[in-house]
Chain A
Amino acid sequence: MTPIRISSSPLREGRWYEYVIRFALGGTATVFTGLVSSRYGASMGGLFLALPAIFCASATLIEKHEIRRKREAALAGESRGRYAAALDAAGAALGAAGLLAFAVVFWSVVEESVPVAFMAASLVWLVVSVSAWYVRRKWRSARLARNAGSGTSISRSL
């Protein structure tokens, strides 16, 4: 298994305005959800708790950073940037499974105990997301190994 690691270089590469944009987007999304809830009710507002407004900014920034990094090395980075953004989207699809689990646990527990609901839902989000990522990684590795194996047998047969 590839270890999960921390790299501080993206923080050094980030521009100050990118952090301001994300802060503003996060604040705006939260205000927007509040406005929808007060105008159309709690149920409609709840729908927008999973609006991918922040994801749009994140994926765009990831692509931009990757392109910038490659350009600094005098390389065209468009493909690499797109690939990085696609990987981020694949991760978000798995994270969405965790978000669903978060919603289920929060909805089931909040009327019993508010602190337990927040803690249990957050923990479940983390466990489900990381497990989904791990299972997908294992499955992909197994598939790649199988394909490599069949490739070998084909080349042998050729």
Chain B
Amino acid sequence: MTEYVVRFLVGGIVVSAFAILGDVLRPKSFAGLFGAAPSVALATLGIAVYRHGAGYAATQGFAMMAGAIALSVYSVVVCHLIVRARLRAALATLLSLVIWLIVAFALWGLAGGRV
């Protein structure tokens, strides 16, 4: 239980720090870089190294590559949904999560990912 409380606090602090950085930076397209900052990754990988060792964190880092490529596709889809389909940001970002899941799991499967 304590581990999950620590995860929650560390994750919240790191994500908030990157979000504030993204808020204050201009122009907006530059600030958007911080929308894909490794905030959750830094918090999670730090705890993974401490609790399970470097090998465990390396496995997570390898799988993260598939997630990152999926995030790139996801962001492009969100951008197009907002500009061309004129959807609101909340709807576009939520609908596009399906794309993230499909691309991430497809790449993970191709790379030989197993549960």
Considering only CB atoms, which chain B residue lies closest to A121 in the complex?
B38
Q: Contact partner of B38 among A34, A89, A91, A125, CB < 8 A? A: A125
Which residues of A in the span 85-138 have a Cβ within 8 Å of any Cβ on B?
Answer: 85-100, 102-104, 106-107, 110-111, 114, 117-118, 121-122, 125, 129-130, 133, 136-137
Q: Is A75 in contact with chain B by the CB < 8 A criterion? A: no
Nearest-CB distance from A88 to chain B (Å)?
A: 4
Q: A63-B88, A86-B82 are in contact. Are A95 and B41 (CB under 8 A)?
A: no
Query: In the assembly, what is the distance between CA of A25 and CA of B93, in Å?
Result: 15
Considering only CB atoms, which chain B residue lies closest to A65 in the complex?
B23
- Is there contact, CB below 8 Å, between A10 and B23? yes
Residues of B with C-beta under 8 A to A102:
38, 41, 64, 68
CB-defined interface of B31-44 with A at 8 Å, one 1/0 digit per residue? Answer: 11111111111111
Residues of B with C-beta under 8 A to A157:
none
Scoring B36, B55, B61 by chain A CB atoms within 10 A of each residue's CB, the highest score goes to B36
Query: In the assembly, what is the distance between CA of A93 and CA of B99, in Å?
Result: 14
Considering only CB atoms, which chain A residue lies closest to B112 in the complex?
A43
- Is there contact, CB below 8 Å, between B36 and A92? yes
- Is there contact, CB below 8 Å, between B45 and A49? yes
Residues of B with C-beta under 8 A to A85:
82, 89, 92
Q: A30-B43, A31-B8, A52-B71 are in contact. Are A98 and B93 (CB under 8 A)?
A: no
Query: In the assembly, what is the distance between CA of A97 and CA of B29, in Å?
Result: 14
Q: Is A68 in contact with chain B by the CB < 8 A criterion? A: no
- Is there contact, CB below 8 Å, between B24 and A11? yes
Nearest-CB distance from A118 to chain B (Å)?
A: 7
Q: Give the top 6 A-B pairs by smallest Cβ distance, nearest first.
A: A91-B32, A26-B15, A30-B11, A95-B36, A50-B67, A46-B63
A29-B15, A122-B38 given. 14 additional CB < 8 A pairs? A7-B25, A22-B19, A27-B15, A28-B8, A33-B40, A34-B3, A47-B63, A82-B89, A91-B36, A97-B72, A98-B36, A102-B41, A106-B58, A125-B38
A sample of 15 inter-chain contacts (CB < 8 A) reads: A5-B26, A7-B24, A34-B44, A37-B60, A46-B59, A47-B66, A47-B104, A91-B36, A96-B71, A99-B41, A102-B41, A107-B61, A107-B65, A114-B49, A129-B36
